Structures are given as C-alpha cells and as structure tokens.
Structure 1
C-alpha cells in the first residue's frame, strides 16, 4: 500500500506495467502481456532501444568523444532500466504476496501515526526527488534554449531548432520533421524520468524493508527489560527470519535495478566532476551544471544511506539483547543472537556488493580514484558557444 503512489507515477512514464497497484491487497495485483500498460511499456522500451542504436551508430561513424559516449551510455542505460522494470513487473505480484504474508505476522503498530508514517515518508521521497528532477530538466531546457537564441539551427523556427538540438544525434541519419522532433522530446522526457525513478524506487523499497525490521525491533525493545519467556523469543526469531527471507526475495527481484542505479550514478558523477573544470558558455549552463551535480551527489548519498538502513536495522537486535536481564536469558535467545550476528541482511547489486554503510565510503573512494585518473587526461577547455549539429 505504501508503494502504490510510487508505482502509479511509474506507470504514467511507462514503467512497472502491473495491474491493481492502487489496491490495498496483494491479491489484486497481476501482470498481463496483453494489457494496455504492458503494451505502452513495451512500445517505450522499443523506442529507447531504437534511440540507443542510433546513438551507437553516431558514436561509431560520426563523432567519438566524451560527450557523445555520455549520451550513448545514458540512453543505453535507460533502455536497460526499462527492460529491468518490465522483467520486475512479471515478478512483482508474487513478491508483494510474500511481503503481505510476512507483514501480517509482525506485531501490530500501536498508533495511527505509526501506521501512516511509512506512507508519508515515501510520499515525501517521491515529491522531493520528482520536484528536483523537474527543476533539473527545466534548467537543461534553458541551457538548450541558449543555443536556439544564439545560433539557431533552423532560422525563424525556434521550436523546431530546440527539438532538433534535443535529439541532434538522431537527425544525422533521419531527416528532421516536427513530428519526429516532438517524438524525440517525448523520449527525452521519459528517459529523464526513468533515470530518476530508478533511484526513487530503490529508496522506497529500502525504506519500506527497513521500517518492517524497525517495527519488530521496537516491539522487542519495549519488552526487553520485562519478564519474557522462551516462547516470546521463538516468535520474535520466526518474525526476524521471515523478514530476512523477504529481504532475499526482494533482492532477487530488484538486484539488477540496484546495480544499474549505483553504476549509473557512479559514472555520471565522475563525468560531471570532470566537466566541472570546463568554462560554461552562459549563466544557464552554469546553473544547470551545478544544480545537476549537487542533486546527483545528494541523491546518491541518500540512496546509499537508505539502502544501508536495512542492514543497520537487521543488526539492531544485538543492542536490544544486551538489555535483557540475566535471569530471562534463554537458550533460544542465545540462538537468536547468534543468527543476528552471523546473518548479512542487505540489498545487493546482483551479489557484486552489499548495500551497507561501508558502501558509502567505498563509493566515495571509487569516485576519488577514478577522478584522479580522469583528470590526467582532461583539458581545461570551454564548452562550444554553439551547439554542433
């Protein structure tokens, strides 16, 4: 239920074609290849694939440089993201059924505020991230409009000039028309949203999983100093084990998306930091560049911390167990403690890495390492005053 707003917005932009996302019951979720949502998502994925193909042809046959490679990697990764979400849509009803079953066995939340806290948190993530993405896209449009004003590609046709510049690589192979220009802009908007939504989705899932571990931890914390029986700890251990299994189920379903998330962010952070030494041709370019870089850095940091919170909450029982009086310490509690200590509960990027707090330091270290290497090959030059078509 907490993720329904995220999925509804995703479907507007041709991602996650699952039916019944507005329902409060997992049984209402379903996937059908013949539904309008699936056909819409499939058509957009094909458009992303075609765009990526033309970008690759441009890089290989027209102009191979850092900027053209960046555009190719952007659209190629967007195509991979759209395919990954389409694949996830086929698994999502089963994942949510498992989630609902595990959630129903957890200790009940005590107040209405607690019950609404998760949905509110996710809504705020969506609102803030989407608003920042919109501002970023508007600034990007302003920087493109600079070229339309200073050196129009099609004189006295500002709208067509803008549309041509937005998808300029494509028109090296296909003759420009207003219809194709509008289609190119639509693809550009859908791609921009898909790139941001990738992070939003992983954040929302991470916050939701961490909240369920926190729900169990808070319940154990309230009872830790009170007289407890072996049966109590057996039930808590069963709930904890169910949450661990749920985390594995979710990870198996979204690990490709998680990998795309972090690899994309890492690449574009390095690319933008490298470009930070370039002089910008206008104030709009400067505003767009620094807002985009700042937003990307903050988004990646928040994504890392939210993802790591699952592992943090899974280890928190060890602190709670220390509060249990010695006379109530049982063999079952000892076994529970050993399980918590040994288990590594976390989302992963296709098992290549685990999302723990250490990943924040690792990502930062990787960025610094690559940046030092890239700077050796960088020239402190200025961006073109006019956009090359």
Structure 2
C-alpha cells in the first residue's frame, strides 16, 4: 500500500493510535514547584500546618505594609519625627511599594495554584492525551524545568546576600550585624530607639520570604512558557518529519491518500487544541504577567537612577550591589520575555515546513492548517494590554531610557532628593 519510507510512519496505525502517557513530566514538575512554594507562603496546600504558615506570612506582610503606609502618610503630612536618611519620603514609598508587591505576588500565585489544581492541569492532561498523532515526548523537559527553577532561586538568594553585605558593610562588628542591617534596610519603619531583636529576627525572615515571592512570579511565567513551547516544539518536529517522509513517497492510491488527509486533519486539530490551551493559560497568567512587568520596570528605573546618581560616590560594596542587582533584574526581565515570546515564535514554526511542502503531496487539510497557523495569533499577554514577544524588549528598553533621562533631569533641578536615600536597595531587606 505504501512505499518503504511511509511504512515507518503509518505501519500498525501507531501514528493514529498513539500510546497514552501514564504521566506528564511537566505536570509532575509544576506540582512539586507549587508545593515548594508553600515555604514562602503561597496558599494551596491542604495540609493544616501549611495553611497556618501561609496565613502567618500573609498577616506579617499586611502588618508591615500597614506600618509602611502609615509612615508615608506621616512623612507627607510633615508630622514624622525624622525624615532624613532611610526615613525619607522616597525611601518610605519604595518600601511600601515592595511590600505591596509581595502581597500581590502571594495573592496571584495562590490564585494560579487554585486554578491549576482545579482546572488547568486537567485541561493540560486532556489535551496531551487527546492528540490523535504519535508526537514524541520531550525527554529533556523535566531537567530543564528544574535547572531554571534552581538557577533563578540561587541567583535571587545571591543578590539578596550581596544586598545584606552592602547594608551592614565589611567593617561592622559581628555583635552589631543584625541591628545595623535592620536599621539600614528598614529605616523607613524603625528608628534607633525603636530597635528590638524580638522584631528584628522575624522581620529578616519575612523580608527574605518576600524577596522569594517576588522572584516566584517570574519563575512561574518562565516555567509555564517552557512547557507550552515544548509542546509546540514537539508538534513542529512531527510536522517536519512527516513532510520529509512524504517527499520520498512514490506509490499512491486512494486509500493512502485518504489516510494522509486523515493524518493531517489530526495534526490540525492538535494545533487547535494547543492554541486553546495557550489561551486558557494566558487568562490564568495575565495578572502575574502584568504585575511582573510593571514591578520589574519600576525597580529597574529606580535602581538605574540610584546607581547613576550615587552609586559611584558610595563605598565599593554598595557600588557592587547596584551592578549585581541591576544585572539580575535585567536578566529576569529578559528571561521572562524571551521564554514567553518563544510560545509566539514556535506557534508559527511549522509554516516553514508547509511552505516547502511537495506539490504532489498537497491536500485540503494541509491548506487548512497553513491558513490556520497564518491567521491565528498565539501569544501570552498582560491581561490583553500587551503581548510578550521579542519586540517588547526594545519597547521596554526605550521606555526605561526615557524615564531615566527624565528622573536625572528632575534630580538636577532638585526635584528628587537623592541625598536622603543613600541606599534604597532593590531587595526588600534593603528598601
């Protein structure tokens, strides 16, 4: 019925009746990632101890945020006892913004876990098992997911450690490390006479967990984008292999042509289901994408401004921190955008194989698939306001440069007091 090469694909109906996977590496990995996120307060686990721990972290963040807002109001109204140094309005506002980001990160991550467990994971598994063609598995996906998650967590903790060293300095006596660190990093909350170790130790813990929460929202975007891109990569690889095999087909009859049409229909349906899955993920991830991009944009501008205006005039360790912090921030933004833009790029990769498809092998389903991939725009977005593709990096870079020039210009006119904010570090422990 078929040529020798086609028997590799169509023999024994393995193409049309694929073996159903027992488990999915991506779903297994994401389930573990969400369970690990309970450590820094994400709600979702049904265990009693995890719920209490998450509630404690949320309550602590809310209390700190309330105090930070109250301090900002006092500074703005002029009734604050001290508005110098780390108790300036700018410093208080930066601290307030960071803790509000942590609370929002906790909320959106917990919401995503709820949707993931009740809806999205089931849809993901259903789409994977309902694909009517034998798409090869991605053997490296699980390893890449763990590598990305571990590397981003390590880099976040490294940046956090550098910020702590920059706060206390290299000449600080060991007996004063905690006190100096808390007063410098949270000077917008405490004055020297207000310091107490009973507040200091929990504050350091909560601030560290808040830093991990902020990093976790970027990790979620990157990991889910890798999973979606992997599915497109597998489908595109299948299309490429099928097109290559059909080039060498020499024997034709009605039954073989009917089977080819049916096969391409199943491929087209697989792309339809994949597009549906991306749109469902886009709806669940929209809030996290919006929060991630806006917060990273704000703190890149702030950190660049502080580094330019005062980074070179401070001590060496603070200058190193500015460089490390800014580099890590830019790396996070680039990682988020490039990983998410991979979904958009790979959603149209199959077109290059269809454009070079042999004329004598062409059928109506190939034409429908080509038309579908051409007209259907697939991409993750920030609640529909913008799409994460490669062009957005240039747009963000241009906007950052514009805002930096404006900030520096106002600073030169005395509108922004940089002398009262000597080290508003990006990490929560240094804001």
Match of 1:91 in 2: 115
Larger radius of gyration: 2
CA distance in structure 2 between the aligned counterparts of 1:232 and 1:386, rounded to whole angstroms: 62
Aligned pairs (5 A) from 1:308-347 = 308-347=341-380
The structural deviation recorded for 1:175 is 4.3
Q: Secondary structure, in 3 states, of the residue corresponding to 2:265?
A: helix
Aligned pairs (5 A) from 1:14-163 = 14-15=41-42, 17-19=43-45, 32=46, 35-62=48-75, 63=83, 65-93=89-117, 94-106=119-131, 107-108=133-134, 110=136, 115-146=138-169, 149=172, 157-163=176-182
Residues 1:293 and 1:315: Cα distance change in structure 2 (over 3 Å): same
The structural deviation recorded for 1:200 is 1.2
Q: Secondary structure, in 3 states, of the residue corresponding to 1:149?
A: coil
Q: Does 1:191 align with 2:210?
A: yes
The structural deviation recorded for 1:216 is 0.7
CA deviations 1:14-46 (Å, max 9, x no partner) are 12x334xxxxxxxxxxxx5x7433332233222
Match of 1:215 in 2: 234
CA distance in structure 2 between the aligned counterparts of 1:39 and 1:250, rounded to whole angstroms: 29
CA distance in structure 2 between the aligned counterparts of 1:48 and 1:143, rounded to whole angstroms: 24
Match of 1:356 in 2: 389
The structural deviation recorded for 1:128 is 1.7
Contact 1:225/1:325 (<8 A) preserved: no
1:245 counterpart (252, 259, 276): 276
CA distance in structure 1 between the aligned counterparts of 2:319 and 2:65, rounded to whole angstroms: 28
Match of 1:272 in 2: 303
Moved more, 42-51 or 261-270: 42-51
Higher relative contact order (CA closer than 8 Å, sequence separation 6+) = 2
Contact 1:148/1:161 (<8 A) preserved: no
Contact 1:109/1:215 (<8 A) preserved: yes
The structural deviation recorded for 1:214 is 0.8
CA distance in structure 1 between the aligned counterparts of 2:140 and 2:322, rounded to whole angstroms: 35
Q: Does 1:283 align with 2:316?
A: yes
**TM-score, L = length of structure 1:** 0.87
CA distance in structure 1 between the aligned counterparts of 2:284 and 2:366, rounded to whole angstroms: 32
**TM-score, L = length of structure 2:** 0.79
CA deviations 1:307-348 (Å, max 9, x no partner) are 100000111121121132112222222122111111111111
The structural deviation recorded for 1:204 is 0.5
Q: Secondary structure, in 3 states, of the residue corresponding to 2:140?
A: helix
CA distance in structure 2 between the aligned counterparts of 1:225 and 1:360, rounded to whole angstroms: 35
Residues 1:159 and 1:273: Cα distance change in structure 2 (over 3 Å): closer
Q: Secondary structure, in 3 states, of the residue corresponding to 2:410?
A: coil
CA deviations 1:39-95 (Å, max 9, x no partner) are 322332222222122111112212453333222111111111111112222211111
Contact 2:182/2:200 (<8 A) preserved: yes
Alignment root-mean-square deviation, CA: 2.7
CA distance in structure 2 between the aligned counterparts of 1:382 and 1:77, rounded to whole angstroms: 25
Aligned pairs (5 A) from 1:1-16 = 1-15=28-42
The structural deviation recorded for 1:384 is 6.9
Contact 1:166/1:184 (<8 A) preserved: no
Contact 1:3/1:119 (<8 A) preserved: no
CA deviations 1:202-241 (Å, max 9, x no partner) are 1001111110111111111100133372111110111111
Contact 1:11/1:37 (<8 A) preserved: yes
CA distance in structure 1 between the aligned counterparts of 2:93 and 2:261, rounded to whole angstroms: 61
Residues 1:334 and 1:141: Cα distance change in structure 2 (over 3 Å): same
Q: What 5-or-longer segments of structure 1 have no aligned partner?
A: 20-31
CA distance in structure 1 between the aligned counterparts of 2:368 and 2:317, rounded to whole angstroms: 60
CA distance in structure 1 between the aligned counterparts of 2:171 and 2:72, rounded to whole angstroms: 24
